[in-house]
Amino acid sequence: MSEPLSPQNKPYASEVEAGKTYYWCACGRSKNQPFCDGSHLGTDFQPVEFTAEKNDTVYLCGCKKTGDMPFCDGSHNK
């Protein structure tokens, strides 16, 4: 599998709505970071689907190296 691009070395603070499904960009190519815009087509990557449990601010990985997809786990500090 190829390595994803790292659009930034910090998380994206994103407002999410309870019950809404989101698609996190795993390839790093999306122009709509941190969300998928279909730029992964033709690559080994697929977006990561998640549904918000509550209205909240979540911190989504920007470096694409997290072990807790799609959430930031601090991997950008390593």
Each residue's pLDDT tens digit, 2-58: 899 999 999 999 999 999 999 999 999 999 999 999 999 999 999 999 999 999 999
Q: How confident is the model at residue 1 (pLDDT cuts 50, 70, 90)?
A: low
- For the chain, the domain total comes to 1
Cα–Cα distance list, 49 to 20, 23, 71, 77, 78 (Å): 10, 5, 12, 25, 26
- Chain centroid offset of residue 47 CA: 8
Tokens matching residue 44: 């080994």
Other CB atoms within a 10 A radius of the CB of residue 35 amount to 16
CB contact at 8 A, 75 and 65 = yes
Instruction: Find, among 58, 57, 70, the residue nearest to 27 by Cα.
Output: 70
Q: Which residue range forms the structural domain that includes residue 50?
A: 1-78
